[in-house]
Structure 1
Amino acid sequence: MGDSLKPSSSGSATGNPRNKAALKPGCSLMDWIRLGNSGVDLTGVNGVRRTVSKKELARHNKRNDAWLAIRGKVYNVTRYMEFHPGGEEELMRGVGIDATKLFNDVHAWVNYESLLQKCIVGSLGEADTEGAFIVPRTKSSSKLSAASGQNPAKKLIEQTRNISIATNAVWSSSDWFQQLTFICLIFYLKATVMQLHISLTEDSNLILKLNQALHNVKLESTVRWPCKVKLNPTVGKVELEFRKVESALWRTFGVLMKNVPSEIVSSSWKMTVIKSDSITHDTKILVLKYVDCVYNYVPVGCHVMFEAVIDGKVVERPYTPVVSVHPEYPVESSIECLNFMIKSYDNGLLSKWLCSLPTGAVVSVSAPLCVFNPSLLNGRKKLVILAAGTGITPMFSVINWAVHTSSQRLSVSVIFFNKSECDILWGEQLNKLMIDNERFKVENVLSNGSSSWTGKRGRISVEIVQSELPDRQNSGEDNPFTLICGPVNFNQTAESILQKLGYQHEDYYCFH
């Protein structure tokens, strides 16, 4: 997703297509991020954080004075009202109250901390601080129960290896083991992993963010970077293996630090260009590596924001990291790196700049922003993808998940629209996947193909879409779900076609 894919008025930054509302011009996700970086005070309290009682929170319950609380933090969402894709009325449901449960029910996967980071008023008094470490019972048991009562002082209990963690109001656990040369930390979350951040400073200061739970551990001794990450997002298991600098058995894994401030995790990081390879006449694969010891898990279909100062102006655009969909066409897989497919547009200030970067250049990249969740496909048997041009980029991770990872055994059909043969991105890889996997199919449609082109021609239409997607009433047990991504006009036309075929908002999702 690059310069040409600007959010339309129907975009959903929350990932919930059932609650979409028309946004006014200038109220897209990028416009909101731009406002947050403009220096305007969005907190309403001049950025001076405070503890807010529930009584005080309740007073800020109006459209022009709107506060709400999520997981122990209070946010001033007054300015966010017109940017909320679900509409003002939907957001007002949580104003003046602790909206944690409401948020979990509707938007649990959304990275709200990134969206509302410039709106923080302070902490909610008497809040249920989900995500805090809970002191285990002082007995040497391999299984620990959650502590009751007020949140006690957090300290490491040497008699046990386990830490008890609360995440999204569901108790989970962790464990650790070691050998002479490495130490392994294991976390079991009773929830889908949507956020995982790891950073290491001073070779022993470990910062972890698991969903909304933030942890800081001073390890017993120094370790090497990078670590190995084994992740099962669906069942919520995270396994981290660190190599020790010195071979020795540790007495314990380390010391758990108290009162970890949320600011300890940055919202953006510097990344270095380590490779820039052309894959078409105007598109490159850019491989970036974090400058610091950092890892950010990018969930399926999620994107990051690039920021650069070009000709004295701050320019920001969303791009989706890409992954290979076939093992014979690997991309850089180190946890330190992200791969991006960048098309250089004639009028694309940032895309041209990115494509011109030499090896060693440094760029600023945000934390992952997630407005899509694969759970939207629960109960479906068929996934149809309508993509145009670089609109295929967020689909690569979805295809990889659907074909190789998901237990749903979805059949996947891609209709890929381009101008000419040379514009088809990763066409050879997609064709190879179709040959090797009976559940995957790709159909290329060209608007200006050469005389030798034997495939379909034209632009998106009801007839072309119907070749893979029947009328809703005739879809049978497939219960298909459709993903859409392309230029604004393409997205709007695709949505209109789906509606003509009888599909409702819950039957499709449009990336912007």
Structure 2
Amino acid sequence: MPRCCGASLVSAADGNGSPQSLGLQIQDGNPQNKTALAPGHSLMDWIRLGNSGVDLTGVGGVPQVVTLSELANHNKQTDAWIAIRGVVFNVTRYMDFHPGGVDELMRGVGKDATKLFDNVHSWVNYQSILQKCIVGRLSLQKAVDENSSNSSNVNMDWQQTSNSITLFYQGVRDYPGIYYRLQRLSDSKIIFRLTFEKHIIINEIELIADVEWPPIYKRDFETMQVDFTFTKKLKDIWKSQGNHTLSQESITNKRTYREYEIVSNTPLCNLVHFLVLRAKDFLEIIPVGRHIEVKMNIMGMEISRSYTPVPSCLHPEDMAPNYKPDCICLMIKRYPNGALSPSITKLQPGQTLIMSNGLGAFVTESFDRYPVIHMLAGGTGLTAMLGIIQRALGRRNVKLINLLNFNKDEDNMFYVSQLDKVSSEKKFKVTHILSQAGDKWEGRRGTVSDKLLKELIGECSPEGCIFTCGPKGFMLSAKKCIQTLGWKSHQMYDFDD
């Protein structure tokens, strides 16, 4: 049974840039083995150092997969790596900031220190304190090969406060695109389904007491850890997590369908609508770049189309109306003579729609080695890019996200202000390009061409990759121009619009 955080938690401080604003917590009372720190080495000083731009990872911010033997080589005070729950941190610069002193921290250096950490101070929010020190993931390949249990592909752990319980899941091999689905059977019984390439791990948990639904989930795009935090209905410190059973089943190609209720339907422009949908007692985290199938009965005929789910927002100020963590968001363009889109875009809150599970084979992690990401989006092809943008914004090794957003005219543009707001980020750049712009348009004009792409993307670079999505003619022209500029097939991925 995993060790829990059984201490009562209180806020460490208040104010902007404070430990409180970073979500840091300390134990209620006097921590054991606390050492007097030298001037200039307080928690606030550490936060300032992390925000100064100094590379605390020691690897240039490029996520690594670290073996146990490699971890063991970094076991000196001047070169100190430590692993906690499958994540490797470079704590070399943190040595003099550690409240327990250098010697205490050195006990865990060069090894997997999860048990040691939990035994000494499991209440500490190390993820926030060491967020700028992440080297990458700990590879447990050897241990996995020797362990044939159903849970060998994933680390599962938990911690709690008096208000909440958090369940952690992290693949221990280099499994890309792990797919999470949660189903609530009761207020205390939850089923987690983790889908890998060839099998599904099923973790059925019966908690000690009731929790609220839905949980808040957080994905770390560097370590691939996913956290699910449930609010307890009654404040209390549990003596244990509860009971859980593990099983495994093979992957099938069978599609499953659920009824989703429309939560909100917001027009983004004259033709494009933003829909927020929710299924009862169900949460599905669809991997970036995958799609779902939507079905409706239109005049006695079953009509279906595929759509790519999009993030609830790219900027916190633009959160989708009435969105909750168990919702799925879609952007759908209404075609006046379309078989399905006019009916979907007319749906009002409370009405329902049938949707499938996530489909497709795109694995975004296979492009993580590229620090420069170019994207060519034609019309609603933008929807396939939004998840990639959100993910890239959360990855430290990405230097540039370059979006070329092509549309016919101003009436066909959508999500423009949201993209422009995010473009204030130093590493995100968006260029809006219209082929039939009106006289008042002050932006770029044109279509996909060798000249335009050479200017805005450039010739082939080993640091870059290119994603394209749009109408068929757009895709063919884009691919031809990209190849003319010397880009290789392994650097390119074409989504179907």
What is the CA–CA distance in structure 2 between the aligned matches of 1:470 and 1:180, rounded to whole Å?
54
Aligned letter for 1:388?
A: G
Q: Does 1:414 align with 2:407?
A: no
What does residue 44 of structure 1 align with?
none
Aligned letter for 1:174?
A: M
SS of the equivalent of 1:274 reads strand
What does residue 493 of structure 1 align with?
477
SS of the equivalent of 2:426 reads coil
Aligned letter for 2:375?
A: I
SS of the equivalent of 1:511 reads strand
Q: Does 1:200 align with 2:184?
A: yes
Deviation of the 1:455 alpha carbon: 2.5
**Structure 2 vs 1, CA of residues 201 and 395 (structure 1 numbering), >3 Å: closer, same or farther?**
same
What is the CA–CA distance in structure 1 between the aligned matches of 2:310 and 2:377, rounded to whole Å?
15
Deviation of the 1:442 alpha carbon: 1.7
**Structure 2 vs 1, CA of residues 173 and 278 (structure 1 numbering), >3 Å: closer, same or farther?**
closer
What is the CA–CA distance in structure 2 between the aligned matches of 1:398 and 1:429, rounded to whole Å?
15
Deviation of the 1:509 alpha carbon: 0.6
Per-residue CA shift, 1:177-232, capped at 9, x if unaligned? 34444333223321455211111112232110123322222333332211222322
What is the CA–CA distance in structure 2 between the aligned matches of 1:239 and 1:274, rounded to whole Å?
25
Deviation of the 1:393 alpha carbon: 0.8
What does residue 385 of structure 1 align with?
375
What is the CA–CA distance in structure 2 between the aligned matches of 1:270 and 1:263, rounded to whole Å?
22
**Structure 2 vs 1, CA of residues 358 and 331 (structure 1 numbering), >3 Å: closer, same or farther?**
closer
Q: Does 1:327 align with 2:316?
A: yes
Contact 1:193–1:234 (8 Å) recurs in 2: no
Contact 2:181–2:193 (8 Å) recurs in 1: yes
What does residue 357 of structure 1 align with?
347
What does residue 167 of structure 2 align with?
185
Mapping 1:54-453, distance limit 5 Å: 165-167=151-153, 172-190=154-172, 191=174, 192=176, 194-212=178-196, 213-257=201-245, 267-290=256-279, 292-323=280-311, 324-332=313-321, 333-402=323-392, 404-434=393-423, 436-453=424-441
Q: CA RMSD in A?
A: 3.1
Deviation of the 1:340 alpha carbon: 1.3
Contact 2:435–2:445 (8 Å) recurs in 1: yes
> How many residues matched?
350
Contact 2:434–2:444 (8 Å) recurs in 1: yes
What does residue 31 of structure 1 align with?
none
Per-residue CA shift, 1:40-92, capped at 9, x if unaligned? xxxxxxxxxxxxxxxxxxxxxxxxxxxxxxxxxxxxxxxxxxxxxxxxxxxxx
SS of the equivalent of 1:242 reads strand
What is the CA–CA distance in structure 1 between the aligned matches of 2:148 and 2:432, rounded to whole Å?
60
**Structure 2 vs 1, CA of residues 468 and 146 (structure 1 numbering), >3 Å: closer, same or farther?**
closer
What is the CA–CA distance in structure 2 between the aligned matches of 1:341 and 1:355, rounded to whole Å?
9
Aligned letter for 1:394?
A: A
**Structure 2 vs 1, CA of residues 441 and 150 (structure 1 numbering), >3 Å: closer, same or farther?**
closer
**Structure 2 vs 1, CA of residues 253 and 376 (structure 1 numbering), >3 Å: closer, same or farther?**
closer
Deviation of the 1:276 alpha carbon: 0.9
**Structure 2 vs 1, CA of residues 454 and 315 (structure 1 numbering), >3 Å: closer, same or farther?**
same
Aligned letter for 2:404?
A: I
Deviation of the 1:250 alpha carbon: 4.2
**Structure 2 vs 1, CA of residues 295 and 470 (structure 1 numbering), >3 Å: closer, same or farther?**
same
What is the CA–CA distance in structure 1 between the aligned matches of 2:432 and 2:400, rounded to whole Å?
17
In terms of mean alpha carbon deviation, does 387-396 or 181-190 score higher? 181-190
What is the CA–CA distance in structure 1 between the aligned matches of 2:379 and 2:391, rounded to whole Å?
21
Per-residue CA shift, 1:434-470, capped at 9, x if unaligned? 2x12322222221211112232323211111111122
User: Which protein, 1 or 2, shows the higher relative CO under an 8 Å CA cutoff with sep ≥ 6?
Assistant: 1
What is the CA–CA distance in structure 1 between the aligned matches of 2:161 and 2:370, rounded to whole Å?
44
Contact 1:299–1:370 (8 Å) recurs in 2: no
SS of the equivalent of 2:152 reads strand
Aligned letter for 2:304?
A: E
Contact 1:380–1:410 (8 Å) recurs in 2: no
Aligned letter for 2:430?
A: V
Contact 2:165–2:230 (8 Å) recurs in 1: yes
Contact 1:301–1:398 (8 Å) recurs in 2: yes
What does residue 10 of structure 2 align with?
none
What is the CA–CA distance in structure 1 between the aligned matches of 2:495 and 2:148, rounded to whole Å?
43
What does residue 23 of structure 2 align with?
none
SS of the equivalent of 1:390 reads helix
Deviation of the 1:274 alpha carbon: 1.4
Contact 2:262–2:347 (8 Å) recurs in 1: yes
- Percent identical pairs in the alignment equals 26
Aligned letter for 1:414?
A: L
**Structure 2 vs 1, CA of residues 448 and 197 (structure 1 numbering), >3 Å: closer, same or farther?**
same
Q: Does 1:507 align with 2:497?
A: no
**Structure 2 vs 1, CA of residues 204 and 432 (structure 1 numbering), >3 Å: closer, same or farther?**
closer
Contact 2:221–2:391 (8 Å) recurs in 1: no
Per-residue CA shift, 1:382-421, capped at 9, x if unaligned? 221111110001111111222x201222312222111111
What is the CA–CA distance in structure 2 between the aligned matches of 1:284 and 1:371, rounded to whole Å?
26
SS of the equivalent of 1:464 reads helix
What is the CA–CA distance in structure 1 between the aligned matches of 2:255 and 2:239, rounded to whole Å?
31
What residue ranges of structure 2 are gaps of 5+ in the alignment? Answer: 1-118, 121-139
**Structure 2 vs 1, CA of residues 251 and 313 (structure 1 numbering), >3 Å: closer, same or farther?**
same
Contact 2:185–2:281 (8 Å) recurs in 1: yes
**Structure 2 vs 1, CA of residues 266 and 228 (structure 1 numbering), >3 Å: closer, same or farther?**
farther
Q: TM-score, normalised by structure 2?
A: 0.64
471, 474, 478: which one aligns with 2:459: 471
